[in-house]
Structure 1
């Protein structure tokens, strides 16, 4: 029986190795143990465990059926497009998923586990579709979003307080920008992820990088002191809609809804600290920064919303509606 301790971590490391380079057995053992030690200092696996792992990769009935040739000193997939991420769950992996769902059912009334329970249900639904089962869940997701691959490495970099060398190319840049970056926080907005941190090269705090095709790559800078942030990130995000922060000018925003749309706003508010006017129940107010995400949220209500104040936001909405009107003039 294969050693189950850190099994999924080992499999992910091996899958990455087999896809990218030819490894000898001893070199492969070193890479796997270094990967385990990063998260679990002082731990690793034996030669025997690695041999058992390779057998599971090659096993066509109870393993991953990976294209790893036999009796060759170096190990690498013969099919460059193969990855275990595209393979069905192994029997014991499905058991672990089922066990996790059963465990979570004991806490189904605890909001702390809602997100995880939702993720497990989505995962199970997609797995069942692999077996031609009827699709039950149709959820909102961005099929073109490629930036999710950066999420885990950046999460670990923040956790380990690592300084990064970023290679980034905006849609307008002709050549990639390279800069020293100290990551502090990850934020999701509108089905996309962003990382905030300190851009040492231009000395900018709360520098934001979208996790999409503009982030070409990044690597760890060794022997560079990590500069942490003392920012109150909860307050930082509660005083804004979205992720764009041009200034620190918090304004009182007052909106008036029409056609009963204030009821819809109650079910999905785009600002957490809102309140309704006592005398005018169709008016909502909150304190926030004026940015493009706020404007986009207001525009999403079309003719069913009206900006009452502040004047700076009112003027911006006038400019937007005036420009839009030109598109539809006959």
Structure 2
């Protein structure tokens, strides 16, 4: 039986190695022990453990059934698209998931448990369904979103305070650009992730990068001094809808009037969590909040169609008026 200590970590490291290039046995052992020591200083595995791990990868019944040819001195998948992430959970992994659920059930009445429980239920449901008919959960998921692969590396870069050299190409740009970036926080919006930090090449401290195909690549800059953030990120995000914030954007008071009872829908799912209601009875269909005016705010308002009316500020009313005129031209008889 393979050594189960840190097995998930070992398997992920090996999977990454086998996908990218050919490695000899000794080189694999060195890379594995370096990865383990990074998270668990002073710990390492033996040659025997690595040989057992390779058997797990090749095992068709109890392992990953990986396309890892035998009889050669170097190890690499014969199918470059293969990854163990596509394979069902191993028995010990299923045990860990179930153990985690049992542990978290002790905190069932704690608000923090709710999100963890949701994640575990989604994960377990996907693992247990053998066909579409067995599905229980149908949740909002962006099947085409490829940027999730950047989430963990950027999270670790923030934790380790790494400075990155980023290569980025906008959709409308003819060529890519590169810049030095000090990542500070990650933000999710509309089923996509964004990383914020200091663009030291341009001297902008609250620069955002979408985690999608525009992010071509990034590398860690060795021996570069990391700049800490002095931004109050909680306030930064709570005074805006979405992710776009122009430099020197000013917070303004927005007042909305809802029609056809749509204020009740807004209150169950507000796109601005810090909204407030009016005390006056004649204003029960109105709410207000303070925010910057950006494209995401306008998009949220447009999603309500004719059931929302902007009362203040005048600049936002003008934007909504222009959008209404623009859409109207598509429906002229």
TM-score by length of 2: 0.96
Aligned to 2:320: 317
Deviation at 1:150, TM superposition (A): 0.3
Aligned to 2:266: 265
The aligned length equals 330
CA distance in 1, matches of 2:134, 2:239: 43
CA distance in 2, matches of 1:284, 1:216: 42
Aligned to 1:172: 172
Name the CA shift for 1:244/1:3 in 2 (closer, same or farther; >3 Å). same
CA displacement 1:255-298 (0-9 Å, x = unmatched)? 00000001101110011111111111110001111111111111
**SS of equivalent to 2:288:** strand
Deviation at 1:322, TM superposition (A): 1.1
Name the CA shift for 1:267/1:90 in 2 (closer, same or farther; >3 Å). same
Deviation at 1:307, TM superposition (A): 0.3
Structure 2 counterparts to residues 286-305 of structure 1, below 5 A? 286-305=289-308
**SS of equivalent to 2:291:** strand
Deviation at 1:212, TM superposition (A): 0.3
Specify every segment of 5 or more residues in structure 2 that has no aligned partner in the other structure, as ranges: none
**SS of equivalent to 1:106:** helix
Structure 2 counterparts to residues 120-269 of structure 1, below 5 A? 120-130=120-130, 134-246=134-246, 247-269=248-270
Name the CA shift for 1:15/1:314 in 2 (closer, same or farther; >3 Å). same
- Per mean C-alpha deviation after superposition, the further-off stretch among 106-115 and 166-175 is 106-115
TM-score by length of 1: 0.97
**SS of equivalent to 2:311:** strand
Deviation at 1:302, TM superposition (A): 0.5
RMSD: 1.3
**SS of equivalent to 2:309:** strand
- Per mean C-alpha deviation after superposition, the further-off stretch among 62-71 and 139-148 is 62-71
CA displacement 1:94-127 (0-9 Å, x = unmatched)? 1111221222222222111211111111111111
Aligned to 2:86: 86
**SS of equivalent to 2:196:** strand
Aligned to 1:56: 56
**SS of equivalent to 1:255:** strand
CA distance in 1, matches of 2:234, 2:295: 20
Name the CA shift for 1:256/1:90 in 2 (closer, same or farther; >3 Å). same
Specify every segment of 5 or more residues in structure 1 that has no aligned partner in the other structure, as ranges: none
CA displacement 1:14-46 (0-9 Å, x = unmatched)? 001011111001101111122223333333222
Aligned to 1:43: 43
Aligned to 2:23: 23
Name the CA shift for 1:264/1:160 in 2 (closer, same or farther; >3 Å). same
Deviation at 1:306, TM superposition (A): 0.4
CA distance in 2, matches of 1:38, 1:172: 40
Deviation at 1:78, TM superposition (A): 1.5
CA distance in 1, matches of 2:272, 2:92: 43
